[in-house]
Structure formats: C-alpha cells, structure tokens
Structure 1
C-alpha cells in the first residue's frame, strides 16, 4: 500500500467491512497489530486509521479493553432554503432544535475592516471599502458543526442598531431578519457549494483531521434591486452534517 495517505485507505477499508456487517455493533475488533500485518502498514498507520473511525463514530475505544464497533452517529441535516432563511430567529438554531439537539453559537466581529479584492467583487464595492467582518462557530450539543465568515458593507449598516451583528436587540437573528429591521428587504441569495479538504485552521475549529472532507459554500444575499448586502464563506464538516436544498414549486 502506498505510504501517502495510507491511513485513509486503511480507514476506508475497515469502514467498508464494518458497514458490510463483518463486525456487528458491540463487537470487539482485532488488534492494530493484526490490521497492520493484513494491510502491510506500520502499527502507527493502523492506529491512526482506527482513531479516524472513532472520530467518525464507527468505533469506540474502551480503556484497557480494546476497540469496539458502535452505532454510527447520525449526521445533522441542514436544510437551506429561502423560506427557512427568512423566518424569525436564527435558521441554524431552528434546524438543530428540530433534530433534538441544543444549538449554540460563538461569534467575533470586527468593524472597519477593508474589503479584500475578492470580497469587494462579491459585494459590488471597491477594494478597501470598509466592512464589518464576523466569524461564527455554530455548535450542536456542544460540538462544532459549521463555520461562517461574513462580510457586510458598512455603507449599509454604519450607525444603525445592526452595525455589529451580535449586539443589540437583533442579536442572534439571521441576516434576512436583521436587514429587514433597517428597511433592507433581502429578495434572493446565491450559493455556490464546493467540496474541499480541511485546512489546519478549519480542522482545529471543527475538531476534525487535516484533509478531512468539508463543504465550502460561498453565499451572497441581494436586495430587491440586485444589490449585494452580505456575503459569507460557510464551512461544514462532512462527518458532522449533510446539506439539503429546498425549492418552492409554483
């Protein structure tokens, strides 16, 4: 087996065997030494593969006993739609609560941040125009599920009660509801999802491994005149959640 990403190949092979029922739920797995011999890798590679399956929820380690097959954790389904984005309250919190988990969010805002060229293009402003930058970390039952980096032009929000997204009476509200409170009606959104692999920074924040599969969503909200009012880069860990899109049919 090639040394590069060997632990991922071993993990994929073991996952397939678990899903095929070779070891039922509750069964004890053979030792890492046996897997190392079977797949012609070092014991550290076999150990890393098993640790990955523990993170994914397929296995659990028991101190002094070994590694056992556990019932896989169900991923959160995060539904994205205009109807849900526009309802009262934070859309993420409502989605998580509907699936029986407790939602929470941590955020940090910075005002007067010059827009980088790529962000300026998305917001139809000039590079260097001032924005409010907010980083969010969304959690379900205390586990990080989603990251978001949001940019809002200060030309729209400066001096209003929503200038800093997580302060004031609109704290915790979604972009659509916050903008509506200052007379800006969000009429549409464009989302561009892309598969990617987690960077070191993303892995640290999401509690996953570097190189794990993630979905990156580039989202921009527009008002009725087609003016961009907010843009964000959203990151979701594949092992924690899945994305579903809901469309209205007229």
Structure 2
C-alpha cells in the first residue's frame, strides 16, 4: 500500500513537471486546487499535496498566501555572476564572493566565547565546546540579501588582540589572511567544499526564495603555514540565481 502511495505522488509530480516544461502551463499559470487535481489524477488530496511540495522545492512552482493566494508556475529568474575573488582587498565582501554589477554591502554580527559545535570543532582541530568567535554575515546586493555565511575562529587564537572580532577594530572586514598576519599567523591555503543543499524556511525567506529551493553550501577553511586551521565558515548561495565563477591564474608554460 505504501509503495502504491509513493508511486502515486511521484507520478503526479512528474505530470506537473511535464505540463510546465512543455508549455501547457506557462509562467504565471495558476494551478487548479487540490480537489480538482485529485479528481483528475484519481488520487487523494494528500497525494496531490506531496506532489506539489516536490515541484515547489525544485523551484518550478511558487505559492502565495493572502489575496491572490494559490500555487503558480514560477517565472524563470535571471541568473547572475558571483565571482570568487581570491584577493580580499579587491572585494567589498570579506567572504571573497561579490555579486557583479551591484551596489554591495555587508551586514555582520560577531559574538565572542561561543562554544564550538562538534562538527565545527572537528574542522578547526579543537575540542567540542572550546570557545570560538562566531560571525554571521549577510551580503546584500542593492539592499537585498543574496548570500549568507557563518564563520568560526578559535577564541584562544585571537583573544586579547586587535583582530579578535572580524568585523571590529582596525582591520574590520579585511579578510582572514590579512587579519591573521597582524598577529604573526601566516595563512597559506584555503580549502572550499561545495555541496548541494535545500534551504530551510527561515533562510529561504531571508534570501527571497521558497523553502526547499536548491542552494550551494560552501564549506571553507583557512590554514596557517603549520597546517593548523584558523577559521572555518559555511557560505550559502541560492543556486537558482547565481553562477559562482572561479578565475584561477596559471603560470605560463614555456615552449619547448
């Protein structure tokens, strides 16, 4: 019975996708209500709800409440370039990800002496609940939030120094490598691990998209010359709007 129910909502979800892709339902088209779709496909309303939620999460539909409420075929959004800048001084964002062609600003809030969760502690090579400085970022393009990030630095590394707060003091917003150099720590490499994720409701609302929408989560970690991790962050970028581009310089290869 359970298998038949699962097959039912997957079948309905595929039928909805097909109508969107082949143009039967153009952008802006309002879907029939649940009872009508249930009757058409010969399934229960709960099956229709599950199918619609899948297609909503894929970004093909959008739902509104209040006046004009209902579920509609989503108008494709224009995609934009999000360059990954390797030199922090060249970018308004200390995260090294700056939307091209926009007025960019950054909102950040740092909190000192935050116990490290287990996963963060493992990335930083410290003990769980060791104290950290946590900084939450929102990068805005034309006053709209386009990406978020949460950064963690070991408190023992920067305490009692001018750079203990990434967004405070004389080097506010200057990037991890430049800040660390001021306390004798030489950052020599950074690793970035991108993963596909689905946005939870609160984050989706902040980023102006729908719950369940696809995003790219970038796990970034900076390492000093001795191999110790000095900072780690999780950066979240809505996948439907932004193409993250990496421009990697190469040394010329001499002709032989």
TM-score by length of 2: 0.69
Could you tell me how far apart the structure 2 residues matched to 1:241 and 1:80 are?
Answer: 12
Local SS of the residue matching 1:177? helix
Local SS of the residue matching 1:79? strand
1:68/1:112 CA distance change after superposition, 3 Å: closer
Could you tell me how far apart the structure 2 residues matched to 1:87 and 1:164 are?
Answer: 21
Aligned length, in residue pairs: 245
Local SS of the residue matching 2:98? helix
What is the CA distance between 1:159 and its match in structure 2? 1.8
Partner residue of 2:93 out of 85, 90, 95 = 90
Residue 133 of structure 1 is matched in structure 2 by: 134
What is the CA distance between 1:17 and its match in structure 2? 5.4
What is the CA distance between 1:111 and its match in structure 2? 0.6
Could you tell me how far apart the structure 1 residues matched to 2:201 and 2:234 are?
Answer: 17
Residue 196 of structure 1 is matched in structure 2 by: 197
Deviation by residue 1:21-49 (Cα, 9 ceiling, x = unmatched): 667789x778769878766786xx69x96
Local SS of the residue matching 2:173? coil
Uncovered stretches (5+) of structure 1, i.e. residues with no partner = none
What is the CA distance between 1:222 and its match in structure 2? 0.8
Uncovered stretches (5+) of structure 2, i.e. residues with no partner = 252-256
Residue 163 of structure 2 is matched in structure 1 by: 162
After TM superposition, the structure 1 = structure 2 runs for residues 6-21 of structure 1, keeping only pairs within 5 Å, are none
Residue 254 of structure 2 is matched in structure 1 by: none
Could you tell me how far apart the structure 2 residues matched to 1:194 and 1:115 are?
Answer: 22
Could you tell me how far apart the structure 2 residues matched to 1:74 and 1:107 are?
Answer: 27
Partner residue of 1:77 out of 74, 81, 89 = 81
Deviation by residue 1:38-89 (Cα, 9 ceiling, x = unmatched): 66786xx69x969x88xx699899x88x9998973323332335x3446464
1:110 aligns with 2:111: yes
TM-score by length of 1: 0.71
Deviation by residue 1:177-216 (Cα, 9 ceiling, x = unmatched): 3323434332111111111222344334333333222222
Could you tell me how far apart the structure 1 residues matched to 2:81 and 2:167 are?
Answer: 25
What is the CA distance between 1:242 and its match in structure 2? 2.9
Could you tell me how far apart the structure 2 residues matched to 1:243 and 1:123 are?
Answer: 25
Residue 187 of structure 1 is matched in structure 2 by: 188
What is the CA distance between 1:231 and its match in structure 2? 0.5
Highest CA radius of gyration, 1 or 2?
2
Residue 101 of structure 1 is matched in structure 2 by: 102
What is the CA distance between 1:117 and its match in structure 2? 2.8
Could you tell me how far apart the structure 2 residues matched to 1:153 and 1:92 are?
Answer: 18
